[in-house]
Chain A
Amino acid sequence: MARELRGYFGSPLAYVLIVIFLLLNGFFTFFISGFYELEQADLRDAFFRWHPWLFLVLVPAVAMRLWAEERRQGTMELILTLPITLKEAILGKFLAAWLFITICLCLTFPLVMTVAYLGDPDLGATFCGYVGSILLGGAYLAVGSMTSSITRNQVISFVLAAIICLFLVLAGFPPVTDPLAELVPKWIVDIVAGFSVMTHYQSMQKGVIDFRDLLYYGSLIFFMLFANGVILQARRSS
């Protein structure tokens, strides 16, 4: 919804988030990963690999106000009595926030230009990487939107969203899954890892847009937003 988007850019929070996002991105890429030392014109290892962790903090911060703020200000009553359906309201807010995250991501374009200037990167893979990051952001955002509808307190919403997202990441994070594989049969690990954003994120970073990954993100977003709707509906009627 346009209001949300304008709301973001109207408030200092947006700029703070954008700046933090870009700074952290640069920090991780250049200092932690040692982008220059890699001597590879490739963004995957240096840049995109940090996104699941960066987004863990930033996306819940974007999402936390979506519904919690409406509830706190009492405008929930206003928005839900205007002639729009609950579905439209949820989708509108979600899309606006998603667009905001996409804009944040797009602002990292100098990095791509640098790489393109220094070497000859696989631009197709970079594009895939961006698509993967945007989808990842959408998935986190849907989680955040859902937790935001549970509470009127933005901080609680933020923490809940971060925890759920962390779980989604860790379920497919090799340092977690490897020890796990020694304890339980492999198929259980695979199933658990299948729920993780990590598994689906990494395949996209390799430059492959697989239909299954799209389906995963699509269904995760759908499920979370659906839960969002159910929560709002239930909150209204009790």
Chain B
Amino acid sequence: MIEARQLTKFFGEHKAVDGVSFTVEKGEILGFLGPNAAGKSTTMRMLTGYLPPSAGTAVIGGCDICTDSLGARIKIGYLPENAPVYEDMTVTGFLAFCARIRGLSGSDADKAVERTIGKCFLEGVRRQMVGTLSKGFNQRVCFAQSILHDPEYLILDEPTDGLDPNQKHEVRSMIQEMGRDKAIILSTHILEEVDAVCTRAIIIANGRIEADDTPLGLRARSEKDGSLVARLGVPRDTDPLPGLEGMEGVRKVELLEKDGDRLVVRVFPVKKGEGLAALVVRHIADQGYTLESMTEESGRLDEVFRSITMKQAG
């Protein structure tokens, strides 16, 4: 389990991370979301022992990062932002070097390197200098380094940054597969990624946690979650809005489009999942309107993200 307890980091006067607490259990994939400079990387750097926290601490698999940093680091695999690697080494050489620092030797190290090369699709470039590789391979080499010792805890800072869509997909499926028995934290500002791989997401803004929820739960925070969008045909010079608004269970109605006698409206329920759709359909039929289509919308992460992070900025 990874447990952050009131992690705080000052850079001079500036409070980059402000009392961040959360836990990640094995089998969870936690997404760290936030605008640039929100404190995502700083938090991860503290967890991995690169930056000492100004206050608070974190416990990783029973090892406190402040008092037993080495013990914690043994259990962690870390992919730093921008995937730094030693450019003057070959892929195999770099991984073998990491394996040796990780305390593997001889055939164990060879096996670990081979396994990881296979897992990360690095077979074709194994003898190449890392510095000559493309960004996608570079990222994969550094990712390979983080999973080399089969760590219980993985901390990935923007693991899909700079990859093309196919590579992104590969990396995501790798993360998902590993997420079954590891605790993983990954940071990203790609919202679809959270949907695709994370079991839980934290939105962080200005160093503070603003939301900690499942992707579904986050969507539900959107005002539009559970609202109905209906396309209606109404007789000329009639306004269906007051009628709809007056219905029981309807909180608000919004006109989205108007094109002559056809309208698109959004109906916000007081509480979602109360069978509003059936009521709306009946109401429309009673009024003699024609219902062309109706869909229930789920909230969108980007809206939630924006409303949470903008509220902070403003």
Binding site for B on A (CB under 8 A): 2-3, 6-7, 10-11, 73-78, 80-85, 236-238
Cβ contact of A74, chosen from B11, B78, B84, B98, cutoff 8 A: B84
Residue B248 is within 8 A (CB to CB) of chain A in the complex = no
Q: Of residues A7, A78, A236, which shows the largest number of chain B Cβ atoms within 10 Å of its Cβ?
A: A78
Please, which residues of chain B bring their CB within 8 A of the CB of A238? 11-12
Name B47-76 residues within 8 Å CB distance of A. Answer: 48-52, 70, 73-74, 76
B99-107, B115-123, B183-191, B300-308: which lies at the interface = B99-107
Could you tell me the distance in whole angstroms from the C-beta of A28 to the nearest C-beta in chain B? Answer: 31
B49 touches A2 (CB 8 A): no
Question: What are the 9 A-B residue pairs with the smallest beta carbon separation, nearest first?
Answer: A74-B84, A83-B73, A81-B48, A77-B80, A83-B74, A75-B84, A81-B78, A82-B101, A3-B97
Please, which residues of chain B bring their CB within 8 A of the CB of A73? 84-87
B51 touches A75 (CB 8 A): no
Could you tell me the distance in whole angstroms from the C-beta of A154 to the nearest C-beta in chain B? Answer: 14
B88 touches A7 (CB 8 A): yes
Could you tell me the distance in whole angstroms from the C-beta of A130 to the nearest C-beta in chain B? Answer: 30
Residue B199 is within 8 A (CB to CB) of chain A in the complex = no
Q: Of residues A3, A11, A76, A81, which shows the largest number of chain B Cβ atoms within 10 Å of its Cβ?
A: A81
A83 touches B45 (CB 8 A): no
B102 touches A75 (CB 8 A): no
Number of interface residues of B (CB under 8 A): 30
A80 touches B49 (CB 8 A): yes
Given contacts A7-B86, A7-B89, A74-B80, 17 further A-B contacts (CB under 8 A): A3-B89, A10-B89, A11-B88, A73-B85, A73-B87, A74-B82, A78-B80, A78-B85, A78-B142, A81-B50, A81-B76, A82-B98, A82-B101, A83-B102, A85-B70, A236-B50, A236-B51
Residue B145 is within 8 A (CB to CB) of chain A in the complex = yes
Could you tell me the distance in whole angstroms from the C-beta of A95 to the nearest C-beta in chain B? Answer: 15
Count of CB-CB pairs between chains A and B under 8 Å: 63
For chain A, what secondary structure do more than half of its interface residues adopt (helix, strand, loop), or is it mixed?
A: helix
B86 touches A81 (CB 8 A): no
Residue B27 is within 8 A (CB to CB) of chain A in the complex = no
A237 touches B88 (CB 8 A): no
A81 touches B80 (CB 8 A): yes
- Selected A-B contacts with CB under 8 Å, 27 pairs: A2-B100, A3-B97, A6-B89, A7-B86, A7-B89, A10-B89, A73-B84, A73-B85, A74-B82, A75-B85, A76-B84, A77-B45, A77-B80, A78-B80, A78-B84, A78-B142, A78-B145, A80-B49, A80-B50, A81-B48, A81-B49, A81-B76, A82-B73, A83-B73, A83-B74, A84-B70, A236-B50
Which residue of chain B has the shortest Cβ distance to A81 in the bound complex? Answer: B48
